[in-house]
Structure 1
Amino acid sequence: MAVVVATGRLLLIRRAVPEGGLLWALPGGSVEAGETARQAAVREALEETGLRVEAVADLGERVHPGTGRRIVYVACRVLAGEARPASPREVAEVAWVTLREVVQYVPRGLFPPVQAYLEQTWTIGPDG
């Protein structure tokens, strides 16, 4: 999963078809043969949101409690582009959310290492 942060906000996508009860999620998908988790995060961010990103840190991995899928979380920074639903059959909407807004989109909360990364990365301002 690509943990894409820019200007104090986290990029989330609304899946066209919910997976395991999840509607909003981080951009991501399967790692293809011969690809690393970092490469997959970069590719999926581009395919799903139209953003060119660079992987900057591995944040951890787990079996997602809602989907049962193995997820690897990769921190990414934006290199170019504007976020949009680049793959309409997969992504219905994109949103840049503040740390305080995350719970409105992801009621179960974020994976603790992702949450910790965001808290370290962001300086919470009046809307943060």
Structure 2
Amino acid sequence: MPSEQYVKATPSPRVIVAAVMIRAGRVLAAQRSAPPEAAGKWEFPGGKVEPGETEQQALARECVEELGVRVTVGGRVGPDVPLAHGRAVLRVYAVTLQGDGVPEALEHSALRWLTVDQLMSVPWLPADEPIVAELPALLA
């Protein structure tokens, strides 16, 4: 009788999406209010992709929830950034505001529109640093 072999499947990493929103040569940065180890640090707004959602749908939903604005999701910005020892991955997309909406800090302590010269004036979360490195070309 042939023996059965079981292969332990490696779960796919959880996908976290974030938005690079550029307006008038400035990029939107959001200051975390929680958890305590991230509070006060800056990030690109976004969140987890839920089951049944595409990455683009998740990012559009997160922008409504976190910023109170509707966006059109464009192309990727920067590389995949591994998180949580490989259990998650950050994927960042360029987004464009729809209509005349103005982002509000609904889930963050503060929002700032940063010029290329101000990018390093805030303490970024480590996961966002590779994306920040991509921004000078987009803000030029």
Q: Quick check: TM above 0.5?
A: yes
Equivalent residue in structure 1 for 2:114, among 86, 91, 97:
97
Q: Percent identity?
A: 27
* Structure with greater strand percent: 1
SS class of match (1:91): coil
Amino acid at match of 1:115: A
The residue number in structure 1 matching 2:13 is none
Change (3 A) 1:19 1:64: farther
Give yes or no for contact 2:32–2:38 (8 Å, CA) kept in 1. Answer: no
Q: Distance in 2 between matches of 1:104 and 1:91?
A: 18
Amino acid at match of 2:90: I
Q: With structure 1 as the length reference, what TM-score do the two structures score?
A: 0.76
Report the CA distance between 1:27 and its aligned residue: 0.3
Q: Which runs of 5 or more residues in structure 2 are unaligned?
A: 1-17
Is 2:98 aligned against 1:79?
yes
Amino acid at match of 1:71: L
Q: Distance in 2 between matches of 1:52 and 1:70?
A: 24
Is 2:60 aligned against 1:37?
no
SS class of match (1:16): coil
**Total equivalences in the alignment:** 117
Q: Which runs of 5 or more residues in structure 1 are unaligned?
A: 124-128
Superposition map of 1:1-128 within 5 A = 1-18=18-35, 20-21=37-38, 23-59=41-77, 60-64=79-83, 69-80=88-99, 81-86=101-106, 90-107=107-124, 110-112=129-131, 115-116=133-134, 118-123=135-140
SS class of match (1:17): coil
Amino acid at match of 2:103: A
Larger Rg: 1 or 2? 2
Hey, which bits of structure 1, 4+ residues long, moved more than 3 A? Answer: 18-22, 106-109
Amino acid at match of 2:113: W
Q: With structure 2 as the length reference, what TM-score do the two structures score?
A: 0.70
Give yes or no for contact 1:11–1:95 (8 Å, CA) kept in 2. Answer: yes
SS class of match (2:48): coil
Across the aligned residues of Structure 1 and Structure 2, the Cα RMSD in angstroms comes to: 2.4
Deviations 1:48-88 (A, max 9, x none): 1112111110223111489x7421111111113111112xx
